[in-house]
Amino acid sequence: MNARQLALKVIYQVNEEGAFANLALDKILLENKLANPKDKGLATELVYGSIKYRGYLDWVLDQFAKPKVKNMAPWIRNILRLGLYQLLFLDKVPVSAAINESVKLAKKYGHPGTVKFVNGVLRNIERNKDNLAIPDVQKSPVEYLSVIFSFPQWLAKMWVEKYGVKNALKLADYFNQPSPLWIRANTLKITSDELCEKLEKKGIKTVKSSKAPEGLEILDSVEIGKLEEFRQGYFTVQDESSMLVSHVVAPQSGQVILDVCSGPGGKTSHLAQLMGNKGRILAFDVHQHRLKLIQDTCRRLGITNVETILKDARFLSQFIHEPADAVLVDAPCSGLGVLGRRPDARWRKSPEDIRELQIIQKEIIQEAAKLVKPGGTLVYSTCTTTVEENNQVIEDFLANNKEFYLDKDLNKYLPYQTEEGSQGWIQFLPFIHNTDGFFIARMKRRK
């Protein structure tokens, strides 16, 4: 199986069967050893690019093909998406290769009629690709953003209405760029400066975070799992904005902390670092495999003060009877702040998901509040940007729980100063903070 056939299988699984792109790609790469090492990179590019730009590719195809994309045979529409992505986005792939390899795939997964169809459509687009009728950004900003940046119409509309056209376009562009690779130095073993030096000696360039003292961005392409520093537990992978959550919790050595939606454990292990591995962290999750990830991470980092427990955060008070110094609710959310890291996520989400998640989020924070001792801290965070999942959840909670109030000076806890730190919550946005979209709110229980 060559790189294109392998990529097609993954694209089909994602678009037609609802598979997750990263898991499907990892599985098929493991099962099929490609002869040329460069083919792995090509397959990865084809999978993620074709899926990310599916909306734009379908828009182009619909201008040249009858039937429309939604009425095509599933294998054929995905072969066309794969071929068209190469024609429009990959300058290093010859036009002849993009078309001919697509025709070969059509022979394998179609019939003589569809072979002729694939060949004709791709050649017609290649001849006329410079004459596409692009939507006018002034007259139809939602359609322009949806088509050109390849996002669902409902999401484009929401961004334009909430942030204005200029910022909505910046947001879409941010999510279409390669996401930076951030790591967090394990300060139980090493400082970020020392880690930076170690990696530099191996020829790996890094840049220190301006927001999180433990954060380093890796500028080179590296296989993290193969680095000795990773295996030795000197660092773990965690996004820059995600690192700020544990700082806002501000755990102290010797305290009891509950992390009620803890998998896969980035924030859990960071809390342990900030506590100097002293005290007690109870990490809850509803998925055993996510708890296993926490256990593996803590073992690698040398963390011993974390206990993992398989429980639903909505029912914790039924068996946790000792209140904690601090409770972190890193709530399940729509993930609309980290779309750049998950190219298929934009096509999975819907407005209905947001409404359903808000119900769960409200249930979790209400239950978590019962576990905070008087004078204790409750922190709520998400990796999304919707008001429904963020501000509305907090406002609803505070309206129904008068013993809690917003801790209005986040700058006391954030490692850097921000104008938004005086309101008790902060919404990180790519076009303002140059980070993924994250929400953090800090509340206190009255003594």
How far is it, in rounded angstroms, from Cα 270 to Cα 265? 8
Q: Position of tokens 């961004």?
A: 159
* Distance from the Cα of residue 433 to its chain's centroid: 17
Cβ atoms of 122 and 80 within 8 Å: the answer is yes
Phi/psi-derived region of residue 393, left when phi > 0, alpha when psi is between -120 and 50, beta in every other case: alpha
Which residues make beta-bridge pairs with 307?
282
Q: Give the residue from 409, 405, 400 showing the smallest Cα distance to 367.
A: 400
Name, in order, each residue with C-beta under 8 angstroms of 317's C-beta and a sequence gap of 6 or more. Answer: 367, 370, 371
Q: Which residues does the annotation mark as catalytic? A: 383
For 37, the enclosing helix (H) or strand (E) is: helix 37-52
DSSP for 291-309, please give it: HHHHHHHHHHHT--SEEEE
Q: Give the residue from 131, 48, 81, 85 showing the smallest Cα distance to 339.
A: 48
Cβ atoms of 379 and 245 within 8 Å: the answer is yes
Which residues make beta-bridge pairs with 381?
330, 440
Task: Based on DSSP, count helices (H) and strands (E) in the chain, helices before strands.
Answer: 18, 12
For the record, the structure tokens of 365 come out as 């924070």
For the record, the structure tokens of 291 come out as 């708890």
Query: What does residue 9 show for φ and ψ, rounded to 5 degrees?
Result: -60, -40
* Distance from the Cα of residue 436 to its chain's centroid: 8
Cα separations in angstroms, 59 against 1, 14, 53, 325: 29, 19, 10, 53
Cis before 264? omega within 30 = yes
Q: Which amino acid is at 371?
A: L
How far is it, in rounded angstroms, from Cα 4 to Cα 14? 15
Cis before 67? omega within 30 = yes
Cβ atoms of 185 and 269 within 8 Å: the answer is no
How far is it, in rounded angstroms, from Cα 47 to Cα 213? 35
How far is it, in rounded angstroms, from Cα 422 to Cα 67? 56
